[in-house]
């Protein structure tokens, strides 16, 4: 399966998805769907209870639910996912008034993906619209979109030089992040009080700018030095992070305080309905 993971929004809540290029259909993270439909604070526990209540669902679980790799700030993680048919079966076991609207939303997501395949610019426009609905400022959105572009260029460079997706991507990301921020990705998320939320979606403008500088520097250094494989890329990752670290230290010396913030998106985005 050749796939690409992304985030979709249903009623302002994030649902992680994977697009299968071969089958040309979406797979949805089951735990996210259950959380959206039930508003459960512990959707994993809800799924366990749901399978006990519905023996037929439990018996056929492995037929329509599969662990797929989904991109996260720290690299890819295996998450149980199901296609539209599988999600419909799960919805049957969830008494929720959101069931029908969610089905309509899934159909809309599928339709939008076909349109985006015809015109990739629509993908960027959708991301901008989603961030606007969540209350992010235009300045933050512009930087976040740029960070996605820079990240893609970096991972393309890693792939070109023989780095393997998954743990090696995550390790290189940690090296870059640790070098400029002082935190690994996991430590950074803990510092901000995040759980499954995306770290980059919770960075301030300055944090995003520094992260962009670090990853763009690593990309350019890789193109120049042409390292081969993970071990050689580790040195490039550290060098790229050090460029952003120097900029961070210089800014902090003039500000008189750290620019690494414990704030997360909910602390600084505009409440719905308010304008800057």
Greater pLDDT, 136 or 271: 136
Report yes or no: 166 and 75 within 8 Å, Cβ to Cβ.
yes
> How far are the Cα atoms of 47, 56, 63, 193, 259 from residue 28, in angstroms, in the given order?
15, 21, 15, 25, 36
pLDDT at 209 over 70: yes
Closest CA to 151 of 238, 66, 211, 67: 211
Residue 64 contacts residue 162 (beta carbons within 8 Å)? no
Give the model's pLDDT for residue 119: 42
Q: Is the pLDDT of residue 3 over 70?
A: no
Query: What is the rounded distance in angstroms from the CA atom of residue 259 to the CA atom of residue 247?
Result: 11
Higher pLDDT, 175 or 9: 175
pLDDT one-digit tens code per residue, 153-195: 999 999 999 999 888 999 999 999 999 999 999 999 999 998 7
C-alpha 71/C-alpha 170 separation (Å) is 10
Q: Between 276 and 234, where is the model more confident?
A: 234
- Residue 271 predicted with pLDDT over 60: no
């Amino acid at each position: 399966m050749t796939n690409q993971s992304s985030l979709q929004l249903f009623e302002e809540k994030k649902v992680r998805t994977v697009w299968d290029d071969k089958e040309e259909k979406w797979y949805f993270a089951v735990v996210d769907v259950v959380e959206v439909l039930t508003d459960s604070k512990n959707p994993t526990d809800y799924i366990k209870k749901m399978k006990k209540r519905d023996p037929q669902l439990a018996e056929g679980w492995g037929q329509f639910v599969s662990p797929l790799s989904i991109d996260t700030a720290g690299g890819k993680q295996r998450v149980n996912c199901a296609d539209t048919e599988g999600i419909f079966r799960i919805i049957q076991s969830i008494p929720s008034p959101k069931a029908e609207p969610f089905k309509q939303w899934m159909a809309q997501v599928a339709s939008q993906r076909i349109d985006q395949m015809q015109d990739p610019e629509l993908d960027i426009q959708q991301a901008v619209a989603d961030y606007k609905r969540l209350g992010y400022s235009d300045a933050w959105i512009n930087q976040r979109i740029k960070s996605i572009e820079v990240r893609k260029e970096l991972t393309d460079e890693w792939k070109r030089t023989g780095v393997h997706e998954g743990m090696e991507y995550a390790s290189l990301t940690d090296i870059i992040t640790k070098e400029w921020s002082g935190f690994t990705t996991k430590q950074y998320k803990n510092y901000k009080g995040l759980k499954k939320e995306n770290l980059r979606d919770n960075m301030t403008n300055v944090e995003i700018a520094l992260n962009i500088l670090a990853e763009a520097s690593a990309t350019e250094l890789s193109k120049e030095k042409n390292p081969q494989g993970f071990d050689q890329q580790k040195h490039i990752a550290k060098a790229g992070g050090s460029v952003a670290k120097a900029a961070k230290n210089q800014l902090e010396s003039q500000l008189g305080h750290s620019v690494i913030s414990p704030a997360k998106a909910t602390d600084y985005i505009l409440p719905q309905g308010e304008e800057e």
